[in-house]
């Protein structure tokens, strides 16, 4: 049976990417070597790295605008540490917006470097909304936010205007919607949502903001060091980067971010319409802050859980259980999830309604 993969990450990827990556595991570009064993210094992989970095900037509309793209390791969690190391002055401070588990993790790391101002938080409501109308201190070294909150199902729809550098963790919605990416000075994202398998992280950084905080930064944590070595300071995650490159190629061939945004909006509209229409379900977060990537919802009556679970499992749906922090259900609708899979979930919800007295 075909599986409809709603996993929050590692997540669904395009079928064509699986096919090309599988062939590369056996024989990469007719070299007679597997992508799993090829040297990261070989001209074949250096070409992949260079093309992947260039394509990421192209898709984000940042070519020729002073940005560098890096594929590094450690996941977004390492960027929680690397960002203040590179941007916070020795006697400075940083501003953070707290919208969920991952932004909270970034805040904890920043506190080890200096004054960390939380400009707003929705923690007391279990992160069911995105705070708005907050002030960002103009003397902060940077402002950090998380664009999409995988666990709770919220997404920032409008980013604040500020004169200080803006850093954004886009791990769970990068390449999913059109934004003016030039408004951000650093963007980072773990690959395992919309790009590829776990194991690499895309960092896009505006080079002019680096080297100004007066810190002695360890090389492995220094963005300038990684830029100078073209993402090859240490052995890169070859397979994860190659698969991410294949996914970015797939996205470009579809028409880029503008094209995929139309599909993502249609998928989200289909599911949220059913959540709002069906009397057995309700959404978890504020309507205006709903994520188009991660829809969180619950049953009004938990007595229906066993029946609903049986329905979606029989339909071949996978990975839809909600995070323990929220409960209920979470449908992650990343770029590669077809709208047909969303319809299967909607049909299961309707079947439950029709079979419930």
Q: Is the pLDDT of residue 1 over 80?
A: no
Helix (H, G, I), strand (E, B) or coil at 186: strand
pLDDT at residue 357, as a whole number: 85
C-alpha to C-alpha distance for 10 and 192, rounded to whole angstroms: 5
Looking at 3.40.640.10, 3.40.50.970, 3.40.50.10490, 3.90.1150.10, the CATH number of the domain 15-254 comes to: 3.40.640.10
For residues 48-76, average pLDDT: 98
Structure confidence by residue, pLDDT tens digits, 225-256: 999 999 999 999 999 999 999 999 999 999 99
Residue 296 tokens read as 């969180």
- pLDDT tens per residue across span 320-333: 999 999 999 999 99
- Which one from 193, 250, 289, 312 is the annotated catalytic residue? 193
Token pair, residue 310, equals: 């049986």
**Active-site residue flag, 312:** no
CATH of 257-354, one of 3.40.190.10, 3.30.43.10, 3.40.630.30, 3.90.1150.10: 3.90.1150.10
Which of 98, 141, 169, 289 is catalytic? The answer is 169
Confirm whether 193 is a catalytic residue: yes
Q: What are the residue ranges spanned by the domains of the chain?
A: 15-254, 257-354
pLDDT at residue 306 above 80? yes
Say which of 102, 185, 250, 312 is annotated catalytic: 102
Is residue 345 scored above 80 in pLDDT?
yes
Report residue 271: phi and psi, to 5°: -70, -45
pTM above 0.95, yes or no: yes
Instruction: Look at residue 144 and give its three-state secondary structure.
Output: strand
Across the chain, mean pLDDT equals 97
Is position 169 annotated as part of the catalytic site?
A: yes
């Amino acid at each position: 049976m075909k599986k409809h993969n709603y996993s929050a990450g590692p997540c669904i990827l395009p079928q064509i990417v699986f096919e090309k990556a599988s062939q590369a595991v056996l024989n990469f570009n007719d070299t007679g070597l597997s992508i799993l064993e090829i040297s990261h210094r070989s001209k074949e992989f250096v070409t992949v790295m260079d093309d992947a970095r260039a394509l990421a900037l192209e898709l984000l509309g940042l070519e020729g605008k002073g940005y560098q793209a890096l594929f590094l390791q450690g996941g977004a969690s390492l960027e929680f540490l690397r960002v203040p190391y590179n941007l916070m002055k020795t006697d400075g401070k940083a501003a953070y917006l707290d919208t969920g588990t991952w932004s909270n993790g970034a805040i904890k790391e920043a506190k080890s470097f200096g004054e960390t101002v939380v400009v707003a938080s929705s923690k007391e409501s279990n992160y069911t909304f995105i705070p708005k109308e907050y002030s960002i201190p103009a003397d902060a070294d940077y402002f950090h936010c998380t664009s999409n909150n995988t666990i709770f199902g919220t997404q920032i729809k409008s980013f604040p205007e500020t004169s200080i550098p803006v850093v954004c963790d886009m791990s769970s919605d990068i390449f999913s919607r059109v934004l003016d990416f030039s408004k951000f000075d650093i963007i980072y994202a773990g690959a395992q949502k919309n790009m590829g398998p776990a194991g690499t992280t895309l960092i896009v950084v505006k080079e002019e903001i680096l080297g100004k905080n007066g810190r002695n930064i360890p090389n492995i944590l220094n963005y300038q060091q990684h830029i100078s070595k073209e993402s090859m300071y240490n052995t890169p995650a070859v397979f994860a980067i190659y698969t991410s490159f294949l996914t970015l190629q797939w996205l470009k061939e579809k028409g880029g971010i503008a094209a995929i945004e139309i599909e993502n909006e249609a998928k989200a509209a289909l599911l949220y319409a059913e959540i709002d229409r069906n009397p057995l379900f309700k959404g978890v977060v504020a309507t205006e802050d709903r994520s188009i990537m991660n829809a969180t919802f619950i049953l009004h009556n938990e007595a229906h859980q066993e029946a609903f679970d049986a329905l979606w499992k029989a339909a071949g749906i996978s990975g839809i259980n909600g995070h323990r922090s929220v409960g209920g259900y979470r449908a992650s609708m990343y770029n590669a999830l077809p709208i047909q899979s969303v319809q299967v979930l909607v049909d299961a919800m309707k079947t439950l309604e029709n079979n419930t007295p």
